[in-house]
Amino acid sequence: MFGNWLKTTILMAGIVALFGVVGAAFGGANGMLLALALGGVMNVFAYWFSDKMVLRMYNAREVDAASAPQFYALVQELSQRAGLPMPRVYLIDEAQPNAFATGRNPENAAVAATTGILQLLSARELRGVMAHELAHVKHRDILTSTIAATVAGAISSLAQFGFLFGGRGSDGERTNPIVGLIVMILAPIAAMLIQMAISRAREFEADRGGAEISADPNALANALEKMEHYGKGLHLAAAEEHPATAQMMIINPFSGGGMQNLFSTHPATEMRIARLRAMA
């Protein structure tokens, strides 16, 4: 638990520092102070409301025992096995098979799955996936991933705003447009690198924890294999629009290649499957 709080603190500090760098590039000392203050406010806001923001981005709808009885019962059974409070349960009307967990702690957690994953996987495989998501909740790393998802996107927007509208340094001179362009390109990359440093190991741990909760490592391995194969070419619109949220998903949601996959926050699915098979 201490390790996750340390990661969260490092993430928050790194993001505030990035806000300061972007602010200084476009507004000198005054811009840096303003951006640092904005970064601090964003962290507080993200702590309390980032889960609601992410669920809204994905148009997730909350379900219960009446509206999705089998899925809800599956999550309920796994929560009891894991010794966790029952999270809020959401469905996302998207064909791509994927899922994520969000919230600031186990008492305020939510799990979400696409309708595509319910159609693709068997009940046993879906159980493995949701056990993985509940492992994120149990490890208390959902706060880290949710803050990263919301604030990293804000850094990109701030850098783009500064470049488009310019700024003035402490001496009153306009910001060099070349410097502004470099900052606009590098700031989002730096935010992604912070996410990568924290989240890749997190997925391996959630795979292991999920396999322990479900007592069925092969179920999750089979699910990952199916999702990797059948998810290719299926777009997840919200992930494309908000790429900073991609690291919350159980598998990389980007259907194409390019820069988004180059900076993937997920370890190779083949490696994850191999580790789960070894556990079994």
Nearest CA to 222 among 126, 84, 90, 96?
126
Residue 115 identity (one-letter amino acid): T
Tokens representing residue 245 in the block: 């949220």
CB atoms closer than 10 angstroms to residue 11: 23
Measured in residues, the chain has a length of: 280
What does each C-alpha distance from 264 to 45, 183, 200, 258 come to in angstroms? 26, 21, 9, 10
133 in active site: yes
Contact 152, 105 (CB under 8 A): no
Options 62, 77, 107, 133, the catalytic residue? 133
- Dihedral of CA atoms 42, 46, 47, 52 in degrees, nearest 10, equals 160
Catalytic residues: 133
